[in-house]
Amino acid sequence: MKYPFFGKIIGGLIGLAAAGLPGLVLGAVVGHFFDRALVNALSFGSPENIERIRNSFFETTFLLSGYLAKADGRISQSEVDHTEQVIAQMRLDVAQRKRAIELFQRGAASDFQLEPTVAAFLQACGPQRQLQQTLLLFLISLAQVDQGIAVSEHAALVRIANLMGLGAAQLEQLLRMSRAQDSFHQQRGQAASSSTSSLEDAYTALGVASNASDKEVKRAYRRQMSENHPDKLIAKGVPEEMIKLATTRSQEIQNAYEMIKKTRPAMR
């Protein structure tokens, strides 16, 4: 895509009117940066860029899955089964399945380089924090299959999150929300419990405190449902094969919200 030039023209004219020739130069420089930012915004959602993001998301997911699975020194059968389940849910064809397994094995290898892998992912995705959080939630789901996250796995998640620019507090929030949402995945199709612990899980799943106002609960619910909406994730570059996993997350959030609504008369 060619750079537009009207930012330079407008900036230069404004600078010229305000401060003469020096203002013209300064205005043109400011306009140049505006033009560059505009190009980045326009090109970010191009079909070519979305395809590049999808490829990067797919590759990074399985590379980091392998890295995380091996973080505690061995790859458990439950981690293998979970990865196979993810592959099955994604309905990959033979070539894609082979590629996913190869990437998982590369990530689990002793010579795997984490930093350049995450850096390449961040470069492909740009400033889309939602993609980074979606990837982290996939990895957290893998780490939790062994009935809890081992110390080494937690350290690996912290390292990945730090490389993505997420602090420890943000990661812990994602961990708490993921655990709570998983409990609603297990309860789906069953009668919802009204126990205090389950209700606390519901608030945690939405990322709000139990004393949050009705308005705050609704806002948190809508934000999470929007962030996990299939059309929005596809538009951001999440591979369509992975959308079913995000749809499952939406169902868990819905179940948590329904439990909270039953305890708040004004929200029924």
| 217-246 pLDDT tens trace | 888 888 888 777 767 666 655 666 566 666
Token output for 59 = 């590759």
Q: What is the pTM of this model?
A: 0.63
- Rounded to whole angstroms, how far apart are CA atoms 87 and 177? 24
Token output for 196 = 């205090």
- Rounded to whole angstroms, how far apart are CA atoms 136 and 230? 17
Q: Give the confidence band of 210 by pLDDT, cuts at 50, 70, 90.
A: confident
- The reply to whether CATH 1.10.287.110 applies to domain 190-268 is yes
- Rounded to whole angstroms, how far apart are CA atoms 71 and 108? 8
Least confident of 18-22, 190-194, 252-256: 190-194
Q: Where in the chain is the domain with CATH 1.10.287.110?
A: 190-268
End-to-end CA distance of the chain: 51
Determine the average pLDDT of the residues in 257-265.
84
Nearest to 257 by CA among 182, 205, 194, 185: 205
Neighbours of 41 (CB within 10 A): 10
Cα–chain center distance at 123: 15
Q: Where in the chain is the domain with CATH 1.10.3680?
A: 47-175
| 134-163 pLDDT tens trace | 788 878 877 877 667 888 889 999 999 999
Which H or E element spans position 45? Answer: none
Residue 32 has pLDDT above 60, yes or no: no
pLDDT at 245: 62
Q: Which fold does the domain 47-175 belong to in CATH?
A: TerB-like (1.10.3680)
Which one is predicted more confidently, 21 or 128? 128
| 80-104 pLDDT tens trace | 887 787 777 667 788 888 998 999 9
For helices 47-69 and 77-90, give the axis angle rounded to 10 degrees: 160
